[in-house]
Structure 1
Amino acid sequence: MDDRAIPFLRVSNLTKHFQVGRGGLLGRNRSVVRAVDNVSFSIARGETLAVVGESGCGKTTLGRLVLRLIEADSGQIEIAGTEIRGLDHRAMQEFRRRVQIVIQDPFGSLNPRMLIGQAIMEPLDIHSVGTAKARRARLAELLDLVGLPQSFAARFPHQLSGGQRQRVGIARALALETDLLICDEAVSALDVSVQAQIVNLLQKLKHERQLTYLFISHDMAIVRHIADHVAVMYLGEIVEIAPKAQLFAHPAHPYTQALLKSVPRARVHERPELAIKGDIPSPIDPPSGCRFHTRCPHVMGICRSTPPARTTVGPDHSANCHLLAQALPAAKGQTA
């Protein structure tokens, strides 16, 4: 069987709520932020799942849950068939070698007093990988892999540009023969021309090293270039998930349609439509029923009271919307 057909990362019913504030006697009755709510998806080995949505939808929290930087309240996370939420300390050390993150601000992740070479070799030192000579050879290999001159090993972070620092972040993330890379807004802080270079580098590395990406972004244009599948999040829930081509050609959920209409046009005189009206509700008190109903142009009575079930609208394509369930009665209640 083709490895691409087997989920390398499988997330099932993942939930994370944060308690905030102190209200009530002795701190009881505190408010709860529903950051991630019953999220499920899978990614095949060597493919990219992009998670998109507005700020505050839960994308970054989802990435941190997969990394176990924070612990989920419930749900399962499987890497290559292994449930990682129950791993002990020693097993987690091995897991850390397989799963790494590239964050939005590479400068913030680099010690300003540490040379670039030291920063890239730090994971190798921590995990005691090889001899000192082997680690220096690995450093040279990693710099070449991300397109940086060997001389950069003797520079400090402030001596590099934003794009160069992000290449350092990628090199460090790949130092331990990583399988899964979580890219959390990895190009959003860069100039457009530099964004293209980093995205092309990530694509090249994915194909050469059979990497699997969870690519978190709010930029639909970048997602269109890099993703194989796309999951659309709104207020902690995945409201639509589909192969990239299908989602961009036939978006099923009104929120996805609105996101795509908001993408800037290539021609100067063509302005994006302001398709999403109103502010995103608070995750502390999300709307009842469908969480998007307060901003949806197609809202119906049932949307205000009943959460929509996942409806299959095509191969590997599903969305949570009452409108779809009514239009496709045979598919009503099906799960993808």
Structure 2
Amino acid sequence: MRVVLALCLSALSLSLSAQTAPAAPASPSSVTDLAAVAVSGVQPGPGLWKVSKGGHTMLLLGVISPLPELMQWRSADVETAIAGSQQVLQLPDVKLKVDVSFFGKLFLLPSAYSARKNDNGASLQQVLPAPMFARWEVLKAKYIGKDGGIERWKPIFAAQELYKKAIKANQLSKSGGVQSNIDALAKKYNVPETSTDYPLVIEHPHDAIKAFKASGLDDVACFGHTLDAIEQDIPTMTLRANAWATGDLDALRKLPDSDRRGTCISAITDAEFARKLGLSDVPARMEDSWLTTARASLAKNAQTFAMLPIKELLSADGYLSRLKAEGYQVEAPDADDSDDAGPASANTSAPSTSVSGPAASVVH
């Protein structure tokens, strides 16, 4: 059960993570300082956003995925921010809670794994258009190798596995060690971390598996867009990863993101089983959950450190837009450097990265 639903939820949470704000494709000249090879060594990452009201402050780090696998992330600003905070808010996510006993979970495992497979044991060759399957064979040979079992998986699961292997092969990492470094810094300065997960309770997991198996996921488009991303977008993913590592927010605003995530998310949320389980509006509920925690932290603490997907910081309708509408002042780290500093540039007075303090000592 957890295998199937956790993967579905990870697809949903991709809508809230790792994306830059939608933008028109950048001209090659605008990113000539970034090579399509992942950077390595010590990198500072982007500056911090600042949300404030009534003498209370929240400093936010925007994160993306993937990131350069070989980079060592060190940010003196982040270390100083955490050292001076009373609370650290973790990234928003979905926490799956299955209402079943321990032995019930053991009995669910076989059903969960079978739900990952195509109906009636069909192969990818049988469920995919011939040209798409031919592209899959080339990419599978390059990134996965000989694995006959995956040929029976539903397209959305096979696509996820291929994407994971392709990212790894191109020296990119899902997290770049950012979360582990934040955890280490919070521990170093004895600052409590608070989860901002939205808890999703599955009260009848057996019924959920049956609904998933019978849902008839329309995931071929997701599969095709994943092949597109691997064939065409990995250089741009690398440029975005490099831009984050070097703190180049202007490049992050200009570099386009593929529509792979949105297509794969729709394959889940538009399915009948998702509506029955309440998955169709999970992104909105995740946002509400994070904002509730953020408001409470801002009211209680003199200073809070938090993380959000950088999409939510660069987008005009991201999480911070609701705080701005409620009277919070929002400052982008490069607000004084550019007339196009994004939605957070309004109501700004100074960049939020002018923080002094101990040099960062935790690296990945």
Greater fraction of residues in strand: 1
- Comparing both chains, which one has the higher relative contact order based on Cα–Cα distances under 8 Å and sequence gaps of 6 or more? 2
TM over 0.5: no
Structure-2-length-normalised TM-score: 0.24
Greater fraction of residues in helix: 2
